[in-house]
Amino acid sequence: MNTHIDHLRDHSEHTRLVAEWIYHEFWEGRAGYTVETFEGLLRQANDPDHVPLSLIALADGRPAGTVNLIHNDDPERPHLHPWLAALVVVPEFRRHGIGAALVRAVAREAGRLGFFELFLGTDIPGFYMKLGTQLHEQVTEAFCIMRLPLERPPRAQEAP
């Protein structure tokens, strides 16, 4: 399987589909949220040099997953930023390394933008720990906030 990760803005024909994935995976049944809510938020990720960012994984040219870089995903913790949010891999593409590739890709993007760390909330910390995250806070028995230290790309050498 040939997998490619790119900015969703460069594949805007999939924005509605990605919004559906996020809504159904995390928000369905919660008052005040619709697919249109997330479609609008995804359309704000229109500049690869600023947060928010939305990435899409294409497997053999087919949409297979997504991940997002947002300013904050927890209003009770506004001092933590930025956040990895809404990691979704379509069931038929799971267990092929796409989720891990999406996490690494969003981490590279965050580092490129100058961030030193990335936060995320999860009920599956083991998956993220394999990718270098550290427990930041155990919120409940089933949910925690993780911190991912980032490597920043080296700056180009200045000419003498």
Reported as half-sphere exposure (CB side, CA atoms, 13 A), residue 121 has a value of 16
Domain span at residue 32 reads: 3-149
Q: Is residue 160 part of a domain?
A: no
Statement: residue 21 has pLDDT above 90: yes
Tens digit of each residue's pLDDT (9 = 90 or more) over 117-129: 999 999 999 999 9
Q: Is residue 145 part of a domain?
A: yes
Q: Is residue 100 part of a domain?
A: yes
Q: Is residue 158 part of a domain?
A: no
Tens digit of each residue's pLDDT (9 = 90 or more) over 79-110: 999 999 999 999 999 999 999 999 999 999 99
- Written as one letter, the residue type at 58 is L
DSSP summary character for residue 29: T
Domains in the chain: how many in total? 1
Could you tell me the pTM of the whole model?
Answer: 0.92
Q: What is the pLDDT of residue 1?
A: 86
Q: What is the CATH number of the domain that holds 137?
A: 3.40.630.30
Tens digit of each residue's pLDDT (9 = 90 or more) over 23-73: 999 999 999 999 999 999 999 999 999 999 999 999 999 999 999 999 999
